[in-house]
Chain A
Amino acid sequence: MKLSDLPRRAGVGFKPEHFQAINAGPQPIGFFEVHAENYMGAGGPPHAQLARLREDYALSIHGVGLSIGSVQPLDKAHLSRLKTVCDRYEPESFSEHLAWSTHDSVFLNDLLPLPYTNRTLTAVADHIDQVQETLKRQMLLENPATYLLFAESTIEETAFLAEVVKRTGCGLLLDVNNVFVASTNHHMDPSDYLVRFPVDAVREIHLSGHSETVDDAGAPLLIDSHDTPVKDPVWALYATLIARIGPVATLIEWDNDVPDWPVLSAEARAADVILQNACKRRAA
Chain B
Amino acid sequence: MSLGTQRQFAAALTDPAVPVPQGLTAWNGPQPQRRFAVYRNNVVSGLTGAIASRFPAAETIVGEAFFSAMAAEFVRLHPPHSPLLLTYGDDFADFTERFEPARSIAYLPDVIRLEAARGKAYHAADAAPLDPAVLAVLSPERLADVVFVPHPSLSVLRSPHPIVTIWAMNAGEAELRPIEAWVSEDAIVVRPHMTVEVRRLPPGGAAFLQALAEGKRLAAAVDIASEDASAFDLSANLAGALQTGAFVAIR
Task: Give A contacts to B, CB under 8 Å.
Answer: 37-38, 40-48, 64-67, 70-72, 75, 77-78, 81, 100-110, 112, 114-115, 117, 119-120, 147-152, 185-188, 213-217, 219, 221, 223
B52 at the interface (CB under 8 A from A): no
Q: Is B179 an interface residue (CB 8 A)?
A: no
Q: Which residues of A contact B23 (CB under 8 A)?
A: 115, 150-152
Check A108–B13 contact: CB distance below 8 A: yes
Q: Is the CB of A42 within 8 A of B125?
A: yes
Inter-subunit contact A106/B124 (CB<8 Å): no
Q: State A71–B124 Cα separation when bound (angstroms).
A: 34
Given A106-B81, A216-B35, does the pair A151, B25 have CB atoms closer than 8 Å? yes
Q: B31 — nearest CB in chain A belongs to which residue?
A: A216
Given contacts A109-B46, A217-B28, contact A44 B10 (CB under 8 A): no
| Min CB gap A239→B, angstroms | 27
Binds A, one of B36-44, B170-178, B221-229: B36-44
Are A214 and B124 within 8 A (Cβ)? Answer: no
Query: B230 within 8 Å of A by Cβ?
Result: no
- The one of A77, A109, A151 that contacts B47, using a Cβ cutoff of 8 Å: A109
Q: Which 6 A-B pairs have the closest CB atoms?
A: A65-B83, A41-B123, A103-B10, A43-B126, A42-B125, A187-B27
CB distance from A38 to the nearest CB of B (A): 8
Q: Complex Cα distance A217/B121, Å? A: 49
Q: Does any Cβ of A come within 8 Å of B251's Cβ?
A: no
In the complex, what residues of B have CB within 8 A of residue A70's CB?
A: 6
Known contacts A216-B34, A221-B35, A120 near B26 by CB under 8 Å: no
B83 touches A107 (CB 8 A): yes
Let me know if A107 and B82 touch, CB within 8 A.
yes
Shortest Cβ gap from A142 to chain B (Å): 16
User: Among the listed A37, A119, A217, which residue makes an inter-chain contact with B83, where contact means beta carbons less than 8 Å apart?
Assistant: A37
Interface residues on chain B, number (Cβ under 8 Å): 49
Query: Does chain A have a CB within 8 A of B160?
Result: no
Q: Identify 10 new A-B residue pairs, CB closer than 8 A, beyond the known A149-B27, A216-B31.
A: A37-B85, A41-B122, A41-B124, A75-B82, A102-B83, A103-B7, A108-B14, A109-B83, A148-B25, A187-B28
Asked whether A101 lies within 8 Å of B83 as measured between CB atoms, the reply is yes
CB distance from B153 to the nearest CB of A (A): 8
B54 interfacial by beta-carbon distance below 8 Å: no
Q: Give the residue name and chain of the A residue nearest to B32 (CB).
A: A148
User: Once A and B bind, how many residue pairs between them come within 8 Å at the CB atom?
Assistant: 158
**Residue-by-residue, is B187-198 near A (CB-CB < 8 Å gives 1, otherwise 0)?**
000010010000
Does B9 have its Cβ within 8 Å of any Cβ on chain A? yes
Q: Which residues of B does A touch, CB under 8 Å?
A: 1-3, 5-7, 9-10, 13-14, 23-36, 38-39, 42-43, 46-47, 50, 79-86, 121-126, 152-153, 191, 194
> Can you list 29 A-B pairs, Cβ within 8 angstroms, ordered by A?
A41-B123, A42-B126, A44-B123, A47-B126, A67-B83, A71-B6, A78-B82, A78-B84, A107-B81, A107-B85, A108-B10, A108-B14, A108-B43, A108-B79, A109-B50, A109-B80, A110-B42, A120-B1, A148-B25, A149-B25, A149-B27, A150-B25, A152-B23, A188-B27, A215-B35, A216-B26, A216-B31, A217-B28, A221-B38
The reply to whether B29 and A216 contact each other, CB–CB distance below 8 Å, is yes
In the bound complex, what is the Cα–Cα distance between A185 and B85 (angstroms)? Answer: 30
A44-B126, A216-B35, A221-B34 known; A148 vs B80 contact (CB < 8 Å): no
- Complex contact A104–B27 (CB within 8 A): no
Interface centre among A38, A40, A147 (most CB of B within 10 A): A147
Chain A residue nearest to B26 in the complex (CB)? A148
Which chain B residue lies CB-closest to A113?
Answer: B39
Known: A103-B7, A147-B35, A215-B34. A75 touches B83 (CB 8 A): yes
A150 touches B24 (CB 8 A): yes
**B27:A107 contact, CB within 8 angstroms:** no
Q: A119 to B4, alpha carbons, bound, how many Å?
A: 14
Q: Min CB distance, A82 to chain B, in Å?
A: 10
Instruction: Check if B24 sits within 8 Å of A149, measured CB to CB.
Output: yes
Q: Which residues of B contact A103 (CB under 8 A)?
A: 6-7, 9-10
Q: How far is the CB of A125 from chain B (nearest CB, A)?
A: 15
Report which of B7, B14, B79, B86 forms a contact with A40, defined as CB distance below 8 A.
B86
Residues of B within 8 A of A42 (CB): 123-126, 152
Question: Closest approach, in angstroms, between the C-beta of A61 and any C-beta of chain B?
Answer: 14
Chain B residues near A45 (CB-CB < 8 A)? 122, 194
Question: For A40, what are the chain B residues with a Cβ–Cβ distance below 8 Å?
Answer: 84, 86
A123 to B158 alpha-carbon distance, docked (Å): 50
Which chain A residues border B126 with CB–CB below 8 Å? 42-44, 47-48
